[in-house]
Amino acid sequence: MNDNDLPKYPKGAGYRDDEASRDGARKVNSDGSRKSQSDFALALVEAAGPAGIIADTIFAAPDAPFSALALCRARLSELKKLGKIAKSGERRLGLSGIAVNVWVAARYVTEQDGQGDLFGSEAA
């Protein structure tokens, strides 16, 4: 099967150069789970306000629609690429014991925050 039925990222789920990955992208694009996961993640980022939130907290939230933390992170990456959220510049300790990015709604960052990609320029 070709890739003509796969919307270009970030409008559609990202995928690697193998059929299993493309099949996964087709599934989440067609069954609505990608959109519901994105909507869920965006709602929690918005609700966190300027303090922000980490992927681990979104993944562990009640009724979270993610089967794996990696899926949660994928939706956050897509939301960032769409300009809806941004990294705050802060990092917090995640479940793995590693400091992870804190995400905020795009309205809480400015061009001076080093988030130039939200403003059509290179990130500082």
Q: What is the pLDDT of residue 62?
A: 96
Question: Comparing 119 with 41, which gets the higher pLDDT?
Answer: 41
| Per-residue pLDDT at 115 exceeds 60 | no
- pLDDT tens figures, 7-32: 777 667 777 788 887 877 787 777 66
Give me the mean pLDDT over the 83-110 stretch: 93
Instruction: Identify the sign of the CA torsion 13, 14, 17, 21.
Output: negative
| Per-residue pLDDT at 122 exceeds 50 | no
Q: pTM for the full model?
A: 0.73
Where do the domains of the chain lie, and which CATH numbers do they carry? 32-119 (1.10.10.10)
DSSP state of 113: G
